[in-house]
Structure 1
Amino acid sequence: MAQQPQVRDHLDRKLTCLQHAALYHFNIRVVCPSCRRVRIFQGHQLWWLFERRRWNDRLEEVPRRLSCSRCWVADHRKVRPIRVSLVKDLPTGDELPWPDERAWKRVVSRYRS
């Protein structure tokens, strides 16, 4: 399997968490290894879900919190993605809640300084 290129910021640092992905306007692509369903989450929304639930938002930890809903309905088993990737493609599926403006501006101002 081909290795995906590392996504980097403007200072050539590797993006390693959902917060950085959201700040740089990347979306998160997830593929179910069982049914091959592809879902693309909006980066800001997925970051906000992890932030509210106080889950670890490092990209290598994200698959532990996600599972395929189609496989769950069909077989009643949780199938977790193997990995996630950062993309600029449009989001698919139902939207998650957006972060409130105050919380988002606090994150943006922290990274501007």
Structure 2
Amino acid sequence: MSREYVYEPRDLVDAGAMHYNVLARCPCGHTSVLESIDLWDWFRRRGWDVRMRAVPRRLKCTACEDAGRARQGPSIELVRKEATVMLPSADMREFRREVQRRR
């Protein structure tokens, strides 16, 4: 059964609840898929803004960094693909609490 939603996710919590992951694409051509729930936890622990429009400002391309190129802001989109970059796993109880709080 396909999951179709009426509205676009506003932030990483919505993206995680809707089973989306974040595809970050650098202008250099490097792409990475990040688990939205783990990314939400990463941002939450640092006190960063978890809204979708604020996410690209905190991401950086590791390929550009390794090559010594200037930092360029990636573009992001929501996809239903497996994560290619592993972040520390989020506490699912905390995530469910956050989703429940929004209902």
TM bucket, shorter chain: 0.7 to 0.9
1:54 Cα deviation after fit: 1.1
SS class of match (2:23): strand
In structure 2, the gaps of 5 or more residues are: none
**Structure 2 residue aligned with 1:103:** 94
The 5 A counterparts of 1:55-94 are 55-81=48-74, 83-93=75-85
Of 27, 39, 44, the residue aligned with 2:37 is 44
CA RMSD of aligned residues (A): 1.6
1 CA distance for matches of 2:8 and 2:30? 27
So what's the TM-score if we normalise by structure 1? Answer: 0.79
Query: Residue deviations 1:33-72, cap 9 Å, x none?
Result: 0x20110001111111111111111111111001101101
Does structure 2 retain, via aligned residues, the 8 Å contact 1:72–1:79? no
The CA deviation at 1:97 is 1.1
Equivalences, count: 100
Give 4+ residue runs of structure 1 displaced > 4 Å after superposition: none
CA contact (8 A) 2:21 2:36 kept: yes
Q: Which TM-score applies when normalising by structure 2?
A: 0.86
Structure 1 counterpart of 2:18: 24
SS at 1:52 equivalent: helix
Deviation for aligned residue 1:15: 1.1
Paired with 1:85 and 1:76, the residues of 2 have a C-alpha distance of 23
What SS does structure 1 have at the residue aligned with 2:53?
A: coil
Q: Which amino acid aligns with 1:74?
A: A
